[in-house]
Structure 1
Amino acid sequence: MICIQYWQHLLWILFLGACTSSHQNKQMQEETTTTTEEKVVVEESADREVLLFFGNSITAGYQLDVEDAFPALIQDRLDSMGYSYQVVNAGLSGETTAGGLNRIDWVLQTIPDVFVLELGANDGLRGLDLKVTKQNLMAIIDKVRTANPEVKILLTGMLVPPNMGEAYAEEFRNIFPAVAEEKNTALMPFILKDVAGEPELNLEDGIHPTEEGHKILAKNIWPYLKPLLEKK
């Protein structure tokens, strides 16, 4: 059973991705441009390894400047600590695992050395077939490993509220550890830990993390990410 302290998180996540279509379209255009620009930077910095974040609006930093989203904060930390990595933010608002699977080949024009997969929330909120969700996540991982067999992968977990039924919510929660085990990837159990359900850490819509929220995301993901950056 999910512990009681996560219920607040679960209620918050109920609204994740509930943006207006106009906002999503604008965000998708901005994020596609950002990804393309950063791809050019990677190509111009061939001596640096690539850390690629692939996800939805959480990764994209919805309604924030790209430099305030947690992937950019990870870049700042890497630079300050002397790591030779170039971060690419390939987040796209509203993305499902099916959308991610369709998009991954284009994103893999930039070959990652470390790959962070943050998808699944929109599948759960839409009540999609979770067997397909699991298959999509594994297929994305397979494609990334085909592009670079030596890539290090971190999968970030998510929770959904029990509006689809407790059995569905439990099955959803279990997808991420199951995929991580089957595909031998690192796992961060819940990417929104300490941020979901905290009004002061989310935008006025009560949905997406603020700049301060993204700072916490960056802080929380770092212990899972650091071993992958150092492992050769």
Structure 2
Amino acid sequence: MQMRKVIVGTVLILSATAARAAWAEGMVIAALGDSLTQGYGLVQDEGFVPQLQAWLDARGVDAQVINAGVSGDTTAGGLARVAWTLTPDVDAMIVALGGNDLLRGLDPGVSRANLDGILQAAEQADVEVLLVGMDAPGNYGPEYKQAFDSIYPELADSYGTLYAPSFFEGLQMEGDDPASVRAYMQPDGIHPNAEGVALIVETLGQSVLELIAAAQSS
């Protein structure tokens, strides 16, 4: 009987320790994306993930953001590595892919299929997703733009995921002055500078808070 009490007590102690450890680790969010997520052209602390982490920390949010951004990645690249991105400790995932598909003029149907595969993988792993949209430029024609732009809200609706219209939503042009946005971009005109990332995080961070709440309640 004494030995049984010792065993039971040990099990309870180990269970309590494991629970405290799990709580201490908090929420784990994987940010699956391309160079915008990876932090291209910026020092480490100025990239999207470090700035988002600091934004969450400043608000007392117990969450760890993992940088799963790969510069140059298309939706196909994201699909190829989503399985090993969704490790057992990942509770939620930000999906921000499609910019390089646009730069290469890839078929919107292919991009849709790849993003669909990513969302399927997240659903199977029981991981909540924030899908970040991407707007196609008008130079590919109105049909291409309509087909590409509709991918994100339609997939978000189909899978019941959270949806943010654009990664660049926080960079709103002041009036009709394009220079007001260029001031927050790197010289290539594609990637945001540190100040631009801060504005992006300020806006997108609200959706990340919704993502965390959804993951906690699931």
Both structures adopt the same fold (TM-score exceeding 0.5): yes
Counterparts in 2 of 1:32-51, with a 5 A limit?
A: 47-51=25-29
* Residue 122 of structure 2 corresponds to residue 144 of structure 1: yes
- Asked if structure 2 preserves the Cα contact closer than 8 Å seen for 1:155 and 1:187, the reply is yes
Deviation string, structure 1 residues 145-196 (Cα, Å, up to 9, x no partner):
222x1x2210001112122211101111111101101111111011112438
**Alignment TM-score, normalising by the size of structure 1:** 0.75
Change (3 A) 1:90 1:159: same
* Residue 90 of structure 2 corresponds to residue 112 of structure 1: yes
Task: State the identity %.
Answer: 36
**Aligned match of 2:209:** 226
1:111 CA displacement:
3.7
Distance 1:205 1:118 in 2: 20
Considering Cα pairs closer than 8 Å and 6+ residues apart, tell me whether 1 or 2 has the greater RCO: 1
* Residue 184 of structure 2 corresponds to residue 201 of structure 1: yes
Distance 1:137 1:46 in 2: 32
1:228 CA displacement:
2.0
SS at match of 1:171: helix
Deviation string, structure 1 residues 11-69 (Cα, Å, up to 9, x no partner):
xxxxxxxxxxxxxxxxxxxxxxxxxxxxxxxx999732201111011111111123211
SS at match of 2:186: coil
How many pairs were matched up? 188
- Asked if structure 2 preserves the Cα contact closer than 8 Å seen for 1:153 and 1:186, the reply is yes
1:88 CA displacement:
0.3
* Residue 85 of structure 2 corresponds to residue 102 of structure 1: no
**Aligned match of 1:161:** 137
RMSD: 2.1
Distance 1:76 1:142 in 2: 30
SS at match of 2:122: helix
Distance 2:194 2:22 in 1: 29
- Asked if structure 2 preserves the Cα contact closer than 8 Å seen for 1:195 and 1:202, the reply is no
